[in-house]
Amino acid sequence: MDTTATTGTEENVWGGGNKPLGASYGKLMMWFFIVSDALTFSGFLVAYGFSRFKFIETWPIADEVFTHVPFFHGNYPMIYVAFMTFILIMSSVTMVLAVDAGHHMKQKKVIIYMFLTIIGGAIFVGSQAWEWATFIKGDYGALETKGGRVLQFVKADTGDRAAIADFATVLNEDRIANTRDKGVWFNADANTLTSLSLNEVITGFKANPNILIRTEKINEEGEKTLLNREQSLLKLNDAVRVVEGANLVRNEYGSRLFADFFFFITGFHGFHVFSGVVINIIIFFNVILGTYERRGHYEMVEKVGLYWHFVDLVWVFVFTFFYLV
Amino acid sequence: MAHEHKLEIFRGLWKFKSNTQKIWGVLAFLTLVTTVEVILGIIKPEFLTKTYFLEMKLLNWIFIILTLVKAYYIAWDFMHLRDEKSSLRRAIVWTPIFLVVYLITILLFEATYIYDVFKNGFMAWDF
């Protein structure tokens, strides 16, 4: 190793230079980092499990939330996330191929495979950004009750979800956003004005007998409980505000913690992918410049490879616990 | 540095001629597992969602087991743990497994307890 000083006593067992784990210093340190980072992610995912078990009867159902595919309209639960998973696994494969080419000292091949890996990572980060944007924007809208529970709407005849814009009556009333100077500093928020007011949704609901309310509660069939028309009208009295899309305080999908964990876990993972892409780009240029050709080995590629596979490994777990289970 | 690769997966059932071929083989397997997961997630067969094992739906057990299978092949073949010394491999694998299993056990029991408190200790919290 070029980075290690030789002392001339390596031949003795206790003289140093032994490699009991058969791995170089750099690789071992990368493994240390990966193990500790794995524990961080485990902490997040187990915290998610904690909150979910705590609210097991009311937790949002993931395939009702993530149903969009870019450039396509309609309901395609899971398809896009499955595509993202495949992209990440694929970029993991090109990374191993780069490492393998590095072992054979084939600079050209390493360049090509590193490039493909970077492209894969970029597609993944872009997809995640799109997924976030869709999640934040929301699609149906909902009402929130005094207790912070979310009421969603369903068309009685088809059983499909109804967007609040579909049935709300536009009243053209004067609406004032809460601001600090109105004395409501505790909920001062530029977003307090939703596209429809609570009054408009309630009026529209009363005028449209085809709309029913769906509560957060999961019934024995594993579906959200649908109220009948009388129960729905009664439940409507509890509503205090309109919720559209998601932020860190409330979201139209259900439990508030759901959106918080979504932002936190996929955000932290997305940040890892982003930094992975940056590190890959740095190594990519080093490969082009011939740094590792001169050094005589491509161990740096192997080390960033380890990190890149780790990011893929974490996604496999995020995919399961956020989207499947 | 020597770079010997163990070129068989599934305990020798599937042998490869070169490391590159093994990588593509593992990719095929991982894609297959992901496809199965997604298909199961979309259709949700009733006998899997209605059957419970250790208080969890059979379907969720399948998802978790398939995830661990995928994790195994990513770590063993992509991260080359298969080719490392067993001492390094064990240090890397068992340390997190021990800690995470401990954390899962503690927190999920605690969460179930809090769920019971919410359910039985209040007149209503879901209003």
Domain end point (choices A198, A215, A244): A244
Distance CA B104, CA B101 (A): 5
Which of B4, B1, B40 shows the shortest CA–CA distance to B22? B4
Distance CA A188, CA B20 (A): 59
Distance CA A141, CA A246 (A): 10
Using an 8 Å CB-CB cutoff, list chain A residues near B127: 145-147, 149, 238
> Do A50 and A124 belong together in one domain?
yes
pLDDT at B78 over 50: yes
pTM, two decimals, is: 0.88
- Mean pLDDT taken over chain B: 88
Look at residue A25 and tell me if it is in a domain.
no
Looking at residue A48, its amino acid is Y
> Do A130 and A267 belong together in one domain?
yes
Look at residue A121 and tell me if it is in a domain.
yes
Using an 8 Å CB-CB cutoff, list chain B residues near A38: 96
In a mutational test of the A interface, the residue from B62, B107, B113, B117 whose CB has the highest number of chain A CBs within 10 Å is: B107
> Do A151 and A237 belong together in one domain?
yes
pLDDT at B67 over 50: yes
> Which positions 57-76 of A are in contact with B (Cβ < 8 Å)?
57-58, 63
What are the residues facing A161 on neighbouring strands? A154
Check CB contact of A23 with chain B, cutoff 8 Å: yes
Q: Label residue A293 exposed, middle or buried (CB < 10 Å: 0-12, 13-18, 19+).
A: middle
> Do A240 and A153 belong together in one domain?
yes
Look at residue A30 and tell me if it is in a domain.
no
Residue A40: predicted pLDDT: 96
Q: Which of A266-270, B4-8, B114-118 has the highest average model confidence (pLDDT)?
A: A266-270
Look at residue A230 and tell me if it is in a domain.
yes
Residue B3: predicted pLDDT: 59
C-alpha atoms less than 13 angstroms from C-alpha of B4 in its C-beta half-sphere: 5
Q: How many Cβ atoms sit within 10 Å of the Cβ of residue A137?
A: 11
Contact A90 B27 (CB under 8 A): yes
Contact A39 B24 (CB under 8 A): no
> Do A124 and A162 belong together in one domain?
no
Q: Which residues of chain A have pLDDT under 50?
A: 1
Nearest to A54 among B77, B111, B127 (CB): B111
> Do A126 and A267 belong together in one domain?
yes
> Do A128 and A180 belong together in one domain?
no
Distance CA A246, CA A253 (A): 8
Look at residue A34 and tell me if it is in a domain.
no
Look at residue A61 and tell me if it is in a domain.
yes
> Do A175 and A202 belong together in one domain?
yes
Q: Residue B88: which pLDDT band, with cuts at 50, 70 and 90?
A: very high
Residue B52: predicted pLDDT: 84
Residue B13: predicted pLDDT: 79
Look at residue A235 and tell me if it is in a domain.
yes
pLDDT at B40 over 50: yes
Using an 8 Å CB-CB cutoff, list chain B residues near A65: none
Contact A53 B115 (CB under 8 A): yes
What residue spans define the domains of chain B? Answer: 1-83, 85-127
In a mutational test of the A interface, the residue from B80, B83, B102, B104 whose CB has the highest number of chain A CBs within 10 Å is: B80
Check CB contact of A256 with chain B, cutoff 8 Å: no
Q: Residue B93: which pLDDT band, with cuts at 50, 70 and 90?
A: very high
Helices A299-318 and A25-54: crossing angle in degrees, nearest 10, is 10
Q: Which domain holds residue A96?
A: 41-138+258-324
Residue A1: predicted pLDDT: 47
Domain count, chain A: 2
Residue A291: predicted pLDDT: 93
Check CB contact of B24 with chain A, cutoff 8 Å: yes
Q: How many Cβ atoms sit within 10 Å of the Cβ of residue B79?
A: 27
pLDDT at B18 over 90: no
Nearest to A63 among B41, B77, B126 (CB): B41
Looking at residue A85, its amino acid is T
Burial B86-118 (b: 16+ CB within 10 A, else e): eebbebbeeebeeebeebeeebbeebeebbeeb
Domain end point (choices A221, A244, A267): A244
> Which positions 32-71 of B are in contact with A (Cβ < 8 Å)?
34-35, 37-38, 41-42, 44, 49, 60, 63-64, 66-67, 70-71
Q: Residue B12: which pLDDT band, with cuts at 50, 70 and 90?
A: confident
Look at residue A2 and tell me if it is in a domain.
no
Take residue B123 and report the two structure tokens written for it: 């007149």
Contact A320 B31 (CB under 8 A): no
DSSP letters spanning A152-201: EEEETTT--B--HHHHPPP---------GGGT-GGG--GGG--SS-HHHH
Contact B41 A100 (CB under 8 A): no
Residue B45: predicted pLDDT: 85
C-alpha atoms less than 13 angstroms from C-alpha of A271 in its C-beta half-sphere: 8
pLDDT at B120 over 70: yes
Using an 8 Å CB-CB cutoff, list chain A residues near B70: 316
Domain CATH for A94:
1.20.120.80
